Amino acid sequence: MRPPLTSSRASKRGWLRERTTAGGVLLIGVEDDGRITGARPRHEGGRTDPLRLQALIASRTEPAITCQASVVTVTGAEVIAVEVPNSPHIVGTAAGKYVRRAIDRNGRPTCLPLRAHEMLAHEIDRGAVDLARLPAHGATWADLDPFEFERVRRLVADAGDQADRVLATLADEELTRALGLEVKAAQDLECRLVGGNMPAERGFTSEQQKTADTHLASRESTSTSSCGIQFGPFRIAIPTYSEVAFREVLANALTHRDYTKRGAIHVQWSDEQLEISSPGGFPEGIRIDNLLVAPPHPRSAVLADAFKRIGLVERTGRGINRMFAEQLRVGRPAPDYGRTTDETVVAILPGGPANLAMTKWVLEQEHHNRPLTLSELQILSELLRERRATTAELAILTQRTEAETRHLLTRMVERGWVEARGDGKGRTWHLSAAVYRTLDSSAGYVRVRGFEPLQQEQMILAFVSAHGHITRAQAADLCAIAPEQASRVLRRLAQAGKLRQRGQRKGTRYELPW
């Protein structure tokens, strides 16, 4: 439910214009800065009748909204609260006015016109309209390029078992019908996306053509390796960027981009990173913090299904997971979507030197029938880079609950991949000695494991020298450990004569002995 953003000034401008698709609470009598000024009476007798207000809203909205209105007294002033339910449709006034709520350049809430393409984008995001099914008026079979159909057949043949092999044997018209496309005089948009030629299709198809050309070229360009590893009698080339990750992110950009917005899909390639941007934000319900676990939600189910059958994207709809896994598998950092906005999706594949030792270790696990899941790859990569992490931090990284993450970490401990340090909320995780040894970094294990008690003791002694004393809570916060662990460190220092205990129970504190 959206937080209240309206004010008494909004009611004077026409508060019925508030966009109600997402629902929320509308407050009349509260200023934008939070001051309560009170709402004027709407009916005779110096009062506001909530039932009449509800009827007014229903009569002046299209489609009609059934709201719950109430009048509450806050600090001596009457405030009208209108609870607006979620609506599957965009709501406007009975007079035909449609607006959306926004924040202006001065940070104040305002109402802006809701344009036709924005309405269409909303209907597409919620699944009420499939853009690929919209007719392309005036198009005929002659506008479809036979070369593009041959390109589709080659893609199917190259994809192997990932694609529907029967498609490669079909004639042009049979192929369009098999993909669920229309071949009437008025071709639907998906048919033009798949088979249109550039002179006739100056909008979407030109972008699709450029993207398809890049997609086909990516097979050769991404396979150019900058390094390699020796695995048994074989030498395995490690590409500058994972070919699978690049193919997936490019196909996702083409499949899930917002075709109601003008613009092209851009690919920027450098030694440091590979950046792919596409118009429109994430589809409804998809965010950066649930990207790996949210159910697939394509803007066009028809187009997504065609891409799956051709073999351009994962049939399971989890191509994003495969992209992350493949990037980590070849010793590269995970893809980064941090620059994504409501207007543009930006996916970055980091480049730079690969961690060849990590890649070799992953290949060895796969060779012994112990393939790593995406979550396991994420955790191992994070621990290798940051040395240690808490359960909560790893849960955020893998986009799982803490309970799921804890169960996963326990399984990784049983396999000898990670080790735990500490108890309770202060428990941290780090790579095991066996993994560090395999990664040719035995010293790394000593740094993360062996120096920890000494570091904690030195940090506590330095704190006491600076502040005169320290409590258990302060020691726990200082060393980022659980209170019970802090108590053990403090007792060990007291037994060694480095600290002196003063007080009892909650009043216990530790001072220097001199």
Residue ending a domain, choose from 448, 467, 498 = 448
Q: Identify which of 10, 224, 261, 319 has the alpha carbon closest to the alpha carbon of residue 116.
A: 261
Task: Name the CA radius of gyration of the chain, rounded.
Answer: 30
Same domain (yes/no): 439, 462:
no
Residue 385 belongs to what domain range?
Answer: 372-448
Give the residue ranges of DSSP H helices in 160-265. Answer: 172-178, 189-195, 204-221, 243-256
| Same domain flag for 192 and 316 | yes
Is 398 inside any structural domain? yes
CB-based contact 187:144 (threshold 8 Å): yes
Q: Are residues 457 and 405 in the same domain?
A: no
Choose the weakest-confidence range: 48-52, 315-319, 380-384: 315-319
Q: Are residues 393 and 426 in the same domain?
A: yes
Q: What's the pLDDT tens digit per position in 438-487?
A: 775 544 554 555 456 777 888 889 989 888 899 988 888 887 677 888 88
Mean pLDDT score, 408-413: 92
The phi and psi torsions of 511 (rounded to 5 degrees) equal -125, 170
pLDDT score at 232: 63
| 225/311 same-domain check | yes
Rounded Cα distance, 500 and 58, in Å = 74
Residue with more model confidence, 370 or 122: 370
Question: Would you say the pTM of this structure is higher than 0.75?
Answer: no
Last residue of a domain, one of 448, 474, 494: 448
Give me 137's structure tokens: 């008026």
Residue 47 CA to residue 151 CA, distance in Å, equals: 71
Determine, yes or no, domain membership for 462.
Answer: yes
CATH of residue 409's domain is 1.10.10.10
Q: Is residue 365 part of a domain?
A: no
Domain with 53 in it: what CATH number?
3.30.950.30
Tell the burial category of 459 from Cβ atoms under 10 Å away from its Cβ (0-12, 13-18, 19+).
middle
Task: Looking at the structure, tell me whether residues 102 and 12 fall in a common domain.
Answer: yes
Number of domains in the chain: 4
Q: Are residues 285 and 155 in the same domain?
A: yes
448 within 8 A of 388, measured Cβ to Cβ: yes
Terminal C-alpha separation, the chain: 61
d(CA 218, CA 288): 26
**Are 321 and 181 within one domain?**
yes
Pair 182, 246 in one domain: yes
In a domain, 123, yes or no: no
Verify that 290 and 333 share a domain, yes or no: yes
Note whether 321 and 424 are same-domain residues: no
Cβ atoms of 306 and 315 within 8 Å: the answer is no
86 within 8 A of 21, measured Cβ to Cβ: yes
Q: Are the beta carbons of 111 and 164 closer than 8 angstroms?
A: no
Does a structural domain hold residue 125? no
Taking the C-alpha atoms of 362, 363, 368 and 370 in order, what is their torsion angle to the nearest 10 degrees? 40
Identify whether residues 76 and 137 lie together within a single domain: no
Per residue in 202-211, pLDDT (tens digit) is: 333 334 344 4
On whether residue 400 sits in a domain, the answer given is yes
- Which residue has tokens 């509260």? 30
Say which CATH number the domain at 348 has: 3.30.565.60
Confirm whether 285 is domain-assigned: yes
The answer to whether residue 1 is domain-embedded is no
Q: Judge whether 240 and 288 are in contact, CB under 8 Å.
A: no
pLDDT for 14: 33
